Amino acid sequence: MTNTNPKGLSGFLCEVTDKPIPFHDCLTCSQGNPTGCPMIPAVIHASISSIRSADYSLNLARQAGAEIGFSVTELISCPRQTRLKAEHPWYEKPSAMYRMNRGTGYHAILSASATVLKAQGAPIIEEQTLTWKFTYRGKSILLIGTPDLIEWHADGFHIIDYKVTGKPPFARRIMICPHCGEPVSKITERRYFCDHCQIEMKSTLVERRYQPPQPRSSHVMQVNLYALLIEKNMALIQKQIPQADAKFSGARIVYLPDDKPVHCDVELDREHALAFLKKRLAALTDPDLPPILQDSDEIWKCGFCLVRSFCEQLHGGPVGKEALTDSEQVLEAEGS
């Protein structure tokens, strides 16, 4: 059946034709073993069953007596994308949902193991949805998040979040300026330049340091927002871990690729998390649509955005790396 008032995830993109197709029609087609389609009926059915309502956060907010709700996942995403996904229909390939559900399945296994440890007396809380209702700029807002694992240690709470991925962070060598300790950029095979000191130097003077795998910035903010939710739910948490108080020892992102886990420790910064929360809420609740991404560390997300066509239509031009390239070409032309 076709959704008569579509918004949110409204169907699949066919693996063969790349055209939108209703969920049920995709399932029916997969049962006929279509040529060129890698999907099977069980995978399609599991994907359909896992789809969360577009009104999930809003429904929870209304149940809590709030006007509007946002999940932590929505907050760390591009705010323009979050708004457009809530206001327009969009479509996803079953293969992309297969990867997501594969991660969900691994999370379920890890959660089951944590449940066993908890039954044995371990002071942990696994996959419990936490909420925080507050007022921001005159609006009653509900923040929603589900940490994968919360551990209690003598020095405070430790938050663990799992990420099933084929591309985890990796260790690397970085080149450091011997004068200020900041990373330098390579000019030639034998010359480097330090933006901080504004000097050029020979490669023999540059210090080489090992940098362990670094967690992605959005994942760092995710666990920081979880820390705020834990802080605001202490009464609930103390019913499960009576000895706990509002201290934190840190957090860890555990990336789970095919070979072995990659651990990335995270320092928690309450003030930074609160500042980020306010900034994102301002963008998400403003009557005007948030601007396009322009941060060089963030614009890669545009290449994977499922509402990019709406975004570019409203923007009046390309977004992401294409937009950055166009801007550079304009500046270069103006300077010539």
Quote the pLDDT of residue 97: 87
Quote the pLDDT of residue 255: 95
* Residues present in the chain in total: 336
Quote the pLDDT of residue 4: 47
- What percentage of the chain has pLDDT greater than the value 90? 57
Provide the 8-state DSSP code for 182: -
Q: What is the pLDDT of residues 43-82, one digit of tens each?
A: 999 999 888 887 889 999 999 999 999 999 999 999 999 9
The residue among 164 and 323 whose pLDDT is bigger is: 164
pLDDT-derived band at 88, boundaries 50, 70, 90? confident
Closest CA to 186 of 166, 167, 206, 171: 206
Paired sense of beta strands 191-194 and 185-188, if any: antiparallel
pLDDT-derived band at 6, boundaries 50, 70, 90? low
Quote the pLDDT of residue 233: 95
Question: Which own/partner contact pairs does 95-102 have at CB distance under 8 Å and 24+ positions apart?
Answer: 95/15, 95/38, 95/39, 97/47, 97/50, 98/39, 98/43, 98/47, 100/50, 101/43, 101/46, 101/47, 101/50, 102/164
Quote the pLDDT of residue 98: 85
The answer, yes or no, to whether residue 333 has pLDDT greater than 60, is no
Q: pTM of this prediction?
A: 0.84
Torsion over CA: 246, 249, 250, 254 (sign): negative
Quote the pLDDT of residue 325: 59
Quote the pLDDT of residue 16: 93
Average pLDDT over residues 323-333: 49
Torsion angles phi and psi, residue 128, rounded to 5: -105, 125
Q: What is the pLDDT of residues 210-267, one digit of tens each?
A: 889 999 999 999 999 999 999 999 999 999 999 998 899 999 999 999 889 999 999 9
The answer, yes or no, to whether residue 5 has pLDDT greater than 80, is no
Q: How far apart are the C-alpha atoms of 103 and 334, rounded to whole Å? A: 48
- Name the E strands within 76-182: 89-92, 124-126, 130-136, 139-145, 149-153, 156-164, 172-176
Give the DSSP H or E segment for 329: helix 321-335
Quote the pLDDT of residue 23: 94
